[in-house]
Amino acid sequence: MAEHNEPMNSQPSSQDDVAVRYDIHPQGGFSETLKRLFGGDRVLWIIIIALMVISVLVVYSSTAKMAYMPNSGSSTTAFLRRQLIMLVVCVGAIFFFHRINSKWYRMTAGWVFWSGVILTLLAYFVGVKTNDAARWINILGFQFQPSEWLKLGVVMYLAKALAKRQDTIDTLRIMPTLKFWHWGDDKQKRIFTEGTVPLLLPIILSCAVILPAHTSSAVLVGAISLAMLFLGRVNVREIGRIVGVGLAGLLLILSLGLGRGDTAQGRFSTWWMLWTQDRTEVLAKDLTDTERAMIAIHKGGIMGRGAGQSAVRVEMTHPESDYAFAFFAEEYGFVMAMILLALYLWVFFRAIDIFDKCPKKFPSLLALGIALMITGQALMHIMVTVNILPETGQNLPLISRGGSSLLFTSVGIGMLLSVSRQTEEGSHTTD
C-alpha cells in the first residue's frame, strides 16, 4: 500500500491536479458562485431582469408629459433616476427574500395578513387621499399602499390554510347554508370552524377592506383567492356557491353606490358605451383614455414608432402607470408587445414547474399563488387597454412607475424564487 502514497513534499504534476485535489474549478468557479448567490429558477431571474429593463424604457419616455407640466418641478431624467433607485431597492428585496426559507413565510403568514388588514383600514382614517379614495399611508416619508401588502398576505394565509387541510380538502365544506337560522346546528358549526373561518373569512375580509378604496383590486384579490381554492383542490361545487354569493353581494354593493360604487358604475357605463355606440365622429378631445390606448396600439403597428416617439402619451391621463402596455405597444410595436405578454405568461408557467417539483404543500401553493397575483394583474391591465374590461387603474407589474406595487411585487418574486431555490437544494422543512 505504501507505494501508492505520495510523498509529503511532492509537487503537483499540473494545474489540473491542483484543481482536482483542492476541488477548484477555474472555468466554472464564477458561475457556481452566481448560482449560490442567485438561487432558484434561472429562467425566472432572466424574465424579471427583462421586465425591469422594459420598465426603465417605459418610465423614461412616458414621463415626458409629467415633466413638462406646469409646476412639475421635475424632468424626465429625475423621474428615471427615481425609478432606477426603486428598481435597485427591488432587486435587493428579491435577493433578500429569496434567501429566506419558506418555513418563515409559513410562520409569519397570519401576521402579514392581519397587519395588512389593519393597515388598509387605517388608511381610511390617516391615509393620503387621491381621487377621493384613501389608499396610501405615509411612514417615515415613504408612501405605500397597504392593500398591496394585504394582497401578499392573503396569498400567504390561504396557502397555509389550504396546505394544512389537504388530507380532507376534497370533502371539506366551506360555504355554510344560507338559512342563517340553522347556523346554530352542530353540522353548521363544524362547517364554520373547519372551512368558513380559515378559508372563506380571509377572502371576504380582505375584499371588504380594499373595496371602498379600490374596487378592481378587491375583485382581483377575490379572483386570485378563488383560483387558489381551485388549485388547492377545494370541491368545485363549493367554489361555485362562493362565486354565486360573491357576485350577488358585489352587484348589491355597486347598485347601492357603496364605497366607490359610483366610480365603478361610471367606468362600466363607459366600457359598455365603447362596445355599443358608434364613436367614429367623436372629437379627439372627447375620447376616453381607453380609446386613446387602442389608438396608441394601432399607431404602433408591427414594429412600433420608435423609442421616445409616442404621440398619444401627452393625451393619456397616466401613460406611465394605468396604460403602460398601450404606451409600450405604440413605441415598440405589436411584436414586442406580444413578447411582453409572453413574459408575464412565462412567469406563471415557470411557477407551475416550481409547483410540480416542490415536495411540500405550503411552499408549492405559495409559489403558485404569487404567480397568479402577478400574471393576473398583468392580464387585467392589458385587457383594459383593449377594452375587454372596464378601466381599473391596475399597474403593469414591475413596469409601471410606482413604489409600493413595485416593491411588494418584488417581495413576492423573492418568495417564489425562495421556493425554487429550496427545491433545488432539497432544504424544504415545512409541509
Q: What is the pLDDT of residues 233-287, one digit of tens each?
A: 998 998 999 898 888 887 877 776 666 666 777 777 888 888 888 887 777 777 8
C-alpha cell at 170: 376534497
Average of per-residue pLDDT across 326-341: 91
Mention every residue, 6+ apart, whose C-beta is less than 8 A from residue 93: 407, 410, 411, 414
Q: Residues 302-317: what's their mean pLDDT? A: 77
Nearest-5° Cα angle at 168, 355 to 154: 50
33-59 pLDDT, tens digit per residue, is 666 667 788 999 999 999 999 988 887
Q: Which residue has the higher pLDDT, 360 or 11?
A: 360
Q: Between residues 69 and 163, which one has the greater pLDDT? A: 163
pLDDT at 18: 39
Q: How far apart are CA 386 and CA 297, in angstroms?
A: 9
How far apart (Å, rounded) are the C-alpha atoms in residues 404 and 395?
11
193 within 8 A of 163, measured Cβ to Cβ: no
| d(C-alpha 392, C-alpha 165), whole Å | 34
**How many Å apart are CA 57 and CA 49, to the nearest integer?**
13
What Rg do the C-alpha atoms of the chain give, in angstroms? 25
What pLDDT, on a 0 to 100 scale, did the predictor assign at position 224? Answer: 94
Which among 71, 197, 210, 76 has a CA at the least distance from the CA of 135? 210
pLDDT at 295: 86
Q: What is the DSSP letter of 23?
A: T
Domain map (residue ranges) of the chain: 41-99+279-431, 104-259
- pLDDT per position as a tens digit, 210-233: 988 788 888 899 999 999 999 999
| pLDDT for residue 387 is more than 50 | yes
CA 74 – CA 58 distance, rounded (Å): 17
Report the percentage of the chain scoring pLDDT > 70: 83
- pLDDT-derived band at 184 (thresholds 50, 70, 90) equals confident
Residue 351 predicted with pLDDT over 90: yes
Tell me the one-letter amino acid at 138: N
Instruction: Say what the pLDDT of residue 275 is.
Output: 85
